[in-house]
Amino acid sequence: MKKIAPISLLLIVALLAITSYLALAVAPTEQTMGDVQRIFYYHVPSGWVAFLCFFINFVASGVYLWKRSAGSDAVAAASAEVGVVFCTVLLITGPLWARPVWGIWWTWDARLTTTLVLWLIYVSYLVLRRFSAGGQTQALAAAFAIFGFADVPIVYMSIRWFRTQHPSPVMGGGQNSGLDPAMAHVFLANLAAFTVMGIVFLVLRYQLQMQEHALESAHAQAALKGVA
């Protein structure tokens, strides 16, 4: 613990500093939107890590229902929480980009609405885990997570299925999509850095979950033996 804290703090600060520098100083200015478009380099990687975490949560929840192992439950809990944190940044940076470009903070189009619903689903998941009593909490949460994940592909496909205020996909969106190579380099570097940041958060949060589980077990054993 004494070594984990400074190392993880240093790593996260370094990743945030590098990604900010690349986005705000290195990337070229976009012609139509100007410098406000630089929000893109934090907005999209945050969304990517949120999706990745929710996918990990989906897999871990399935494994928990199959194996009933404490490890898979800890992975599920950790990934949901980290996913919510990244999704929160996604939902905050989006309106801050929309206001100067669209003239509005928010609109109830398919992409924005399904993303907000996704955030609410995983916040509900965390609330369920936190406040549900009884021995079936983990199983209930796992089942909830498996159904909740259904919103992820809907969010992803929403800008392809519906006409939205949100722009069409920038990468992999057809003939007229794509990024300037200088922008693409910064974007891919930030995507990689955010993925590392997400993994660091996941590992730390998983360790915490396992430590809390071990402490609860030790308390329960001690109580059974009439010590604590």
Partner 1 sequence: MNPTGLLSGMHLTPYSAAAYAIAWVIYLGYLGRILLRMKKVAAEREELERTLTRNPVTPSLTRSAS
- Give residues in contact with partner 1 (CB under 8 A): 1, 4-5, 8-9, 12-13, 16, 20-21, 23-25, 29, 34-36, 38-39, 42-43, 46, 85, 88-89, 92-93, 96-97, 99-100, 197, 201, 204-205, 207-208, 210-215, 217-219, 221-222, 225-228
Residue 161 Rama label (left phi>0; alpha psi -120 to 50; beta): alpha
Please give the angle made by the CA atoms of 152, 93 and 32, to the nearest 5 degrees: 105
Nearer to partner 1, 123 or 143 (CB): 123
Which DSSP string corresponds to the chain? -TTHHHHHHHHHHHHHHHHHHIIIIISPPBTTTBGGGGGHHHHHHHHHHHHHHHHHHHHHHHHHHHH--HHHHHHHHHHHHHHHHHHHHHHHHHHHHHHHHHS-S----HHHHHHHHHHHHHHHHHHHHHH--STTHHHHHHHHHHHHTTHHHHHHHHHHHS--SSPPPSSSS-TT----HHHHHHHHHHHHHHHHHHHHHHHHHHHHHHHHHHHHHHHHHHHHTT--
**CB 75 to partner 1: min, Å:** 14
142 in Cβ contact with 58 (< 8 Å): no
**CB 120 to partner 1: min, Å:** 18
**CB 193 to partner 1: min, Å:** 12
Nearer to partner 1, 35 or 147 (CB): 35
**CB 211 to partner 1: min, Å:** 5
**CB 201 to partner 1: min, Å:** 7
**CB 195 to partner 1: min, Å:** 14
Nearer to partner 1, 133 or 227 (CB): 227
Nearer to partner 1, 39 or 142 (CB): 39
Nearer to partner 1, 150 or 182 (CB): 182
**CB 42 to partner 1: min, Å:** 5
Residue 90 Rama label (left phi>0; alpha psi -120 to 50; beta): alpha
Nearer to partner 1, 62 or 106 (CB): 106
Nearer to partner 1, 144 or 194 (CB): 194
